[in-house]
Every structure is written in C-alpha cells, then in structure tokens.
C-alpha cells in the first residue's frame, strides 16, 4: 500500500531495512518468490503503473516521460530499457500498436 517503487532512489538495502531483514536474505527471497532480481521486480511494478496511466487516458494530458517519472523512473534510458524488457517493445512501438486496436 505504500508503493515504495515510486521512489526513484529505492535500493535493496532500504527495503531490507524497512522490513528489518538481511539484504542477502531479501534478495534471495525476491529471486525465489518472483523469479527475478530486485531491479526487475521494482521496474515491473513501475511499468504496470505506467501502463495503467496510459490506459486511463493520462497520455492526453501528460507527456510519455512525465508519466514514466511519476511511475518511479528517474531517467529516460532506464525507463526505455525496462519497458522493452517487460513488454518486448519500445514505448513508441507499444503506443503505435495500441493505437491501431479498435
């Protein structure tokens, strides 16, 4: 409910401290439970939030990058890389594809 992934400076160490667990234990737990590393997990949450913003029509009022920053990303490069890894498409390819849908 606190959505720590919105903090662009979030680190594994901060999350471990928040949950009062050892960093290596938290990292192992994330890898085992989610089959991905910490960065990929956090970026997946950010991309999902970004996609929700797009589907709710916020792109009509905000730029692509402002929505990415509001979703917790702190750079265009990181956003583009994470988006392509998560969806298999660049953000512009994704938008073109979704615009063609009836």
pLDDT tens digits, residue range 13-35?
999 998 899 999 999 999 999 99
CA–CA separation, 27 and 32 (whole Å): 9
Taking a C-beta distance cutoff of 8 angstroms, is the pair 65, 78 a contact? Answer: no
pLDDT of residue 100: 67
pLDDT in tens, 31-71: 999 999 999 999 999 999 999 999 999 989 999 999 999 99
Q: Is the pLDDT of residue 102 over 70?
A: no
pTM given for the model: 0.90
């Amino acid at each position: 409910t606190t959505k720590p992934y919105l903090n662009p400076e979030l680190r594994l160490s901060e999350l471990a401290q928040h949950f009062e667990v050892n960093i290596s234990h938290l990292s192992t737990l994330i890898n085992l439970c989610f089959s991905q590393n910490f960065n990929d997990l956090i970026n997946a949450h950010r991309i999902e939030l970004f996609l929700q913003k797009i589907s709710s029509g916020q792109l009509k009022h905000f730029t692509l990058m402002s929505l990415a920053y509001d979703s917790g990303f702190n750079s265009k490069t990181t956003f583009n890389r994470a988006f392509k890894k998560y969806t298999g498409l660049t953000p512009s390819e994704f938008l073109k594809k979704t615009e063609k849908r009836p």
